[in-house]
Amino acid sequence: MKIFLDANILIAVLNKEYPLFTNAARILSLTENHKFKIYTSPLCLAIAFYFSSKKSGDAAAREKIALMSRQLHICNTNALAVDNAIRNNRILDFEDGLQYYSAVDAGCKIIITENVEDFYFADIAVCDSENFLKDYIYCSTR
């Protein structure tokens, strides 16, 4: 299953933001599971770098992003994503539109974000980290 991680999931891991860190880190660890391909976009990495650098400094943030980006698949955010985000009148937040169309272009089946309501326009599944783990991970291990 291809899943897309929004910036807030990445930030929670990079900055060890509790209580979200535990679920976000568990999801990021799925990169080692052959059943999952974990994606994010260059824009999500840029946002995560910004917040990580504010907490840890540029050098530490760069190291963290380098490690994270080696574990993740990076989606394209291209002209088509820009055009689609602009043309979709249901999308009010351009950045969310870019993330959405990057995920769709990569074939992701689900977006994991702590701001589920921001993706009200999505035609693919969207859930927060806790519900993703409950619905897709823990239920399959019973």
d(CA 113, CA 55): 21
Return the structure tokens found at 84.
């689609």
Asked whether the predicted pLDDT for residue 141 surpasses 80, the reply is no
Asked whether the predicted pLDDT for residue 129 surpasses 70, the reply is yes
Q: What is the pLDDT of residue 142?
A: 47
Asked whether the predicted pLDDT for residue 47 surpasses 50, the reply is yes
Model confidence at 108, pLDDT cuts 50, 70, 90, reads very high
Q: Quick: pLDDT tens for 57-86.
A: 999 999 999 999 999 999 999 999 999 999
Model confidence at 122, pLDDT cuts 50, 70, 90, reads very high
Domains of the chain, each with CATH number or no CATH: 2-141 (3.40.50.1010)
- In the block, tokens 């035609």 appear at 123
d(CA 92, CA 103): 18
d(CA 137, CA 131): 9
Supply φ then ψ for residue 77, to 5 degrees: -115, 100
Return the structure tokens found at 22.
């535990």
Task: Specify the pTM.
Answer: 0.93
Q: What is the pLDDT of residue 140?
A: 57
Question: Do the Cβ atoms of 75 and 25 come closer than 8 Å?
Answer: no
